[in-house]
């Protein structure tokens, strides 16, 4: 294998290319918001901007996160072999990759409008802040929820050049979804995180983790269902909501024993819940 082939494999590992669940959970609520803001299919330009932009910014965020956590990751079973942690990719190199990816995402945003461009700076700040939140915040997943939700108001800004209250309500609903699935993720590393002193929602909630996660899911789905009552036409949206609730029950069966395997599986399958809600929204506009 050549030098550049080796580098390419390391960079793909750095941005979690083989784990698309991370960008899919970002993508579906963003596209749902885009469909609502546009009143249906938003056009290929905006669809391309938000799909590619989501992938690029999630990849850039992974680079920044790995640099920030490189000393912690060394002591966590799941993350000990990450490229920055092992030294196969230097911190400066990872930040350079993050900068290139973020610039590419910004180039996409520049094809939209001034409101969306201004919102992208707030999104960038949250992306940079989150990796350090676990040092100071008892539930850093809330900071992640804000970062992951920025695509929602940006979608409204790009599609309608407005920032209606609905955008922020949907962002709030998404925040609770992120709290749910990222707490599942944090449960995987809870034993290691306790040893090294990292703060996570799984540690903060303790034995209340499972019931609170279920509450987070229900609040999230409830907010989206109520907020979109006037915008998602027909029965298809509510069928999707029922299917999403069924997935919440399935998640409970996966996390109730708090096993690493069950919690990780629950987290990694969350993109199906987001996909279900998005399909309900898109389908309701398609048949309206």
What is the radius of gyration, based on Cα positions, of the chain?
Answer: 19
Per-residue model confidence (pLDDT) at position 132: 86
Nearest to 112 by CA among 76, 77, 161: 161
Output the CA–CA distances (angstroms, integers) from residue 137 to 140, 187, 196, 205, in the order listed.
5, 17, 15, 13
Question: Per-residue pLDDT tens for 63-106?
Answer: 999 998 888 778 777 887 898 988 898 999 999 999 999 999 99
For residues 206-231, give the mean pLDDT.
95
- Per-residue pLDDT, averaged over 30-39, amounts to 96
Distance of CA 142 to the CA centre of its chain: 12
pLDDT higher than threshold 80 for residue 242: yes
CA distance 223 to 174: 9
pLDDT of 1 above 70: no
Closest CA to 155 of 116, 127, 122, 124: 116
Distance CA 80, CA 228 (A): 42
Q: How confident is the model at residue 288 (pLDDT cuts 50, 70, 90)?
A: low
Q: In this predicted structure, which of 94-98, 133-137, 185-189, 219-223 has the lowest mean pLDDT?
A: 133-137
Mean pLDDT of 108-122: 97
- Cα separation, 115 vs 60, whole angstroms: 22
**Is the pLDDT reported for residue 211 higher than 80?**
yes
pLDDT of residue 170: 98
Rounded CA-CA distance 13/121 in Å is 26
Residue from 98, 199, 109 nearest 151 by CA: 109
Model confidence over 243-255: pLDDT tens digits? 999 999 999 999 9
With left for phi above 0 and alpha for psi between -120 and 50, is residue 57 left, alpha or beta? Answer: alpha
CB atoms within 10 A of CB 93: 18
Q: How confident is the model at residue 18 (pLDDT cuts 50, 70, 90)?
A: confident
Give the mean pLDDT of the chain.
93
The pLDDT confidence band at residue 5, using thresholds 50, 70 and 90, is confident
Portion of the chain with pLDDT greater than 70, in percent: 99
Whole-structure pTM over 0.85, yes or no?
Answer: yes
* Percent of the chain topping pLDDT 90: 75
- Contacts with 192 (C-beta within 8 Å, 6 or more apart), sequence order: 75, 76, 77, 78
Domains defined for the chain, CATH in brackets:
3-286 (1.10.357.140)
- Res 244: pLDDT: 98
**Interhelix angle for 209-227 vs 236-255, to 10°?**
170
């Amino acid at each position: 294998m050549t030098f550049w082939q080796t580098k390419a494999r390391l960079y793909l590992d750095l941005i979690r290319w083989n784990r698309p669940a991370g960008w899919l959970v970002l993508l579906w609520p963003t596209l749902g918001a885009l469909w609502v803001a546009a009143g249906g299919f938003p056009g290929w330009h905006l669809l391309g901007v938000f799909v590619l932009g989501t992938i690029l910014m999630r990849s850039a965020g992974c680079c920044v996160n790995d640099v920030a956590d490189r000393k912690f990751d060394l002591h966590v079973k799941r993350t000990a072999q990450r490229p920055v942690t092992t030294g196969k990719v230097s911190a400066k190199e990872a930040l350079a990759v993050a900068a290139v990816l973020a610039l590419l995402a910004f180039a996409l945003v520049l094809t939209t409008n001034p409101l969306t461009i201004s919102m992208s700076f707030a999104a960038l700040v949250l992306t940079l802040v989150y990796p350090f939140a676990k040092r100071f915040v008892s539930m850093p997943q809330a900071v992640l929820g804000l970062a992951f939700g920025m695509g929602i108001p940006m979608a409204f800004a790009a599609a309608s050049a407005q920032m209606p209250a609905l955008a922020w309500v949907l962002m709030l609903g998404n925040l609770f979804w992120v709290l749910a699935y990222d707490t599942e993720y944090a449960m995987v590393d809870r034993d290691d995180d306790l040893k090294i002193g990292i703060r996570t929602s799984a540690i903060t909630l303790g034995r209340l983790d499972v019931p609170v996660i279920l509450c987070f899911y229900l609040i999230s789905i409830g907010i989206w269902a109520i907020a979109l009552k006037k915008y998602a036409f027909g029965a298809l949206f509510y069928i999707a909501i029922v299917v999403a609730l069924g997935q919440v029950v399935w998640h409970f069966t996966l996390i109730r024993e708090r096993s690493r395997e069950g919690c990780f599986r629950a987290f990694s399958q969350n993109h199906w819940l987001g996909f279900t809600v998005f399909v309900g929204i898109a389908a309701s506009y398609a048949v309206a």
